[in-house]
């Protein structure tokens, strides 16, 4: 009997070792990273605001997860804590099916009327600006050039808004992104430099040298729901505002 129990324990231990379960694959709540504060209480959308208000039913909380479920059109869940300039943000996202989403940063109302908001946007989508869209920086800047900065790109924008693109060594690959499962995103916005990491590896980066009056210096943080009929999920969202 003792031998049988020992064998059972050994087999169970082997299963755990051979099939490790990460925090991103469960509903566990990992410790808050040093220096970061939670953006989501796990129970409600307190501290967040849906834009436009007509899309309020598209965003809700289920099983400690923020869910965006598209019905009529594009909407944003905005972190309602004022305009933010320099920061680091960590979150986990998942698409149960196909979809297009992301995080808009330094978002501001678009005075041109071409978009609802102008922003710099990290893209999680599988459709949109090109085959490398998943892991790209997307420029929602209708009053200036809307650059391409795809997964694996390091973009430098000079003072005349002209781009130079080089490749990132050891950038994350599509195969390293968990399709249909949870992925961890880390965004760093510091002055004129912007980095986008997925699962601990740099995906894309840009630096801009435009005059300050032509840059987006601060603004809202927004989770995006891009298309009707899609679902995107977020959890474990943390923010660290960086000092000047």
**To the nearest whole percent, how much of the chain has pLDDT over 90?**
68
Mean pLDDT of 7-14: 42
pLDDT at residue 15 greater than cutoff 80? no
Handedness of CA 29, 34, 37, 39 (dihedral sign): negative
Q: What is the mean pLDDT of residues 206-234?
A: 93
Per-residue 3-state assignment (H helix, E strand, C coil) for 45-87 = CCCEEEECHHHHHHEEEECCEEEEECCCCCEEEEEEEEEECCE
Indicate if the pLDDT at residue 11 is higher than 80: no
Mean pLDDT for the chain overall: 86
At residue 74 the predicted structure's pLDDT band, cuts being 50, 70 and 90, is confident
72 confidence band (pLDDT: 50, 70, 90)? low
Distance in angstroms (rounded) separating the CA atoms of residues 239 and 27: 20
Residues 47 and 80: beta-carbon distance below 8 Å: yes
**For 102-126, how does the pLDDT look when each residue is reduced to its tens digit (9 = 90+)?**
999 999 999 888 888 999 999 987 6
Digit-coded pLDDT (tens) for 35-49: 999 999 999 999 999
Q: If you search the block for the tokens 């041109």, which residue do you land on?
A: 112
**Token duo for residue 24:** 């991103």
Mean pLDDT value across residues 170-184:
94
Nearest to 153 by CA among 88, 206, 209: 206
pLDDT at 99 (0 to 100): 80
Of 130 and 73, more confident: 73
Q: How deeply is 53 buried, as exposed, middle or buried, from its count of CB atoms within 10 A (0-12, 13-18, 19+)?
A: exposed
Residues 6+ apart with CB under 8 A from 76: 50, 51, 104, 107, 116, 117, 222, 223, 224, 225
pLDDT for the residue numbered 22: 40
Q: How far apart are CA 108 and CA 189, in angstroms?
A: 16
pLDDT for res 82: 86
How confident is the model at residue 118, as a pLDDT?
Answer: 95
How confident is the model at residue 177, as a pLDDT?
Answer: 93
> Is the confidence at residue 101, as pLDDT, over 80?
yes
For 28-241, which CATH class? Answer: mainly beta
Q: Which residue has the tokens 């009529």?
A: 72
Confidence category of residue 7, pLDDT binned at 50, 70, 90: very low
Residue 71 predicted with pLDDT over 90:
no
């Amino acid at each position: 009997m003792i031998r049988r129990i020992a064998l059972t324990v050994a087999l169970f231990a082997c299963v755990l070792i051979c099939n490790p379960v990460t925090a991103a694959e469960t509903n566990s709540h990992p410790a808050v990273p040093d220096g970061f504060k939670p953006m989501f209480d796990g129970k409600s959308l307190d501290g967040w605001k849906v834009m436009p208000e007509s899309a309020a039913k598209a965003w809700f909380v289920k099983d400690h997860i923020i869910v965006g479920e598209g019905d009529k059109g594009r909407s944003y869940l905005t972190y309602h804590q004022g305009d933010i300039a320099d920061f680091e943000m960590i979150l986990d996202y998942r698409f149960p099916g196909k979809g297009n989403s992301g995080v808009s940063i330094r978002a501001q109302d678009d005075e041109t009327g071409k978009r609802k908001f102008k922003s710099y946007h990290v893209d999680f989508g599988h459709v949109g600006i090109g085959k490398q869209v998943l892991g790209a920086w997307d420029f929602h800047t209708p009053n200036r050039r809307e650059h391409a900065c795809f997964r694996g790109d390091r973009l430098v924008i000079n003072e005349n808004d002209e781009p130079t693109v080089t490749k990132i060594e050891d950038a994350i690959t599509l195969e390293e992104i968990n399709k249909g499962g949870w992925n961890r995103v880390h965004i760093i916005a510091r002055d004129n430099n912007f980095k986008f990491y997925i699962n601990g590896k740099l995906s894309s980066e840009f630096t801009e040298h435009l005059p300050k009056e032509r840059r987006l210096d601060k603004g809202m943080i927004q989770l995006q729901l891009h298309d009707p009929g899609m679902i995107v999920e977020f959890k474990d969202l943390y923010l660290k505002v960086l000092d000047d």
